[in-house]
Amino acid sequence: MDKIKLLIVDDSALIRTMLTQIFSEAEDIEVVGTASDPLIARDKIKALNPDVLTLDVEMPRMDGLTFLRNLMRLRPMPVVMISTLTAKGAEVTLEALALGAVDFVAKPKADVPNALRDYSEEIINKVRMAANVNVKPLEFNKPRDTNAMLEQPQSNLKKHFKTTDKIIAVGASTGGTEALKQVVQMLPAHAPAMVVTQHLPVAFSASFAKHVDEVGKMSACIANDGQLILPGNIYIAPGDQHLRVARDGARYICRLDDGPLVNRHKPSVEVLFQSIAENVGKNAIGVMLTGMGADGAKAMLQMREAGAVNIVQDQASSVVWGMPGEAYRQGAAHHMVSLERIAAQILALMD
């Protein structure tokens, strides 16, 4: 089997050396070159034709976002961002994902050599995953015509739903930050409440919630423990706690849980979906978006058995068809549709 050809782009000689050492342990990955800035990287991409790029954000001569924007427009290829766990790093990384980067690795702020070593398995797996992604040109990420995608009368979007106790439960991982925004921007302000578990570091939570809040008509926030769940609102799990939905009499509330990792994640989609199966049942609509792994698939089947109606994103529109694919294989899905059709499917289920 041919090895994955990797080009490392980072202005830090230490980071380039550490990443090269980490990837040398993977028999299926070959570091074909390194570059200290985007201009050198541009020449090496032409000469070496790598399969995957790791890209730092803050670099001399040209910042990483400008380089990424040009790359995805002229020579689309899988890119894994090397990001810092800071508020600024979170904003830039989310913008990089919007520009077409496949995923990111959070670079620690202190003791970089040892900390990077601790994340070696994650770094290797993300490059392996990226090598299998069908990257689309930047034009794919431009805003879409919402009405055209919904393919239904505008009056349908303006109606008020009869039920107020419905909950939309969403799970996502790799590629999910952009996928969720695309779904949310096509839902009306009075849509049923949405609860979301997206795999992200806690340092990224506030920036992500802000981006989701800005893109649609619904209001988005980081969930707080005991917070009442109301229609027209989106409640996002913080990056370091599980989110559950609980009953408080006739009402639904958010519950945060600082328990152990589940399926190697905190927050975990499995935890959210289990609580939906137990406490919401037939009043729930489950949505599994693009993501690596299988987190939430078993619990999504429990949701179906409890009476929920479930939607999974199809393979063609997913960055990684891991989580939705596993949910589909386990028989958890009622509907499998493209990303562009998920909002329309949700609205159809509200009739």
The number of helix segments (H) and strand segments (E) in the chain equals 14, 14
Burial 244-276 (b: 16+ CB within 10 A, else e): bbeeeeeebbbbbbeeeebbebbbbbbbbbbbb
DSSP secondary structure of 178-242 = HHHHHHHTTS-TTPPEEEEEE---HHHHHHHHHHHHHHSSSEEEE--TTPBP-TTEEEE--TTSE
Q: Which residues are catalytic?
A: 173, 199, 295
**What values do phi and psi take at 322, rounded to 5?**
-90, -70
The dihedral built from the CA positions of residue 311, 312, 313 and 316, taken in this order, carries a sign that is negative
Q: Tokens for 304?
A: 């179906």
Phi, psi of 226 (to 5 degrees): 85, 0
DSSP class of residue 299?
A: H
Rg (CA), the chain: 20
Write a three-state SS string for 94-150: HHHHHHCCCEEEEECCCCHHHHHHHCHHHHHHHHHHHHCCCCCCHHHHCCCCHHHHH
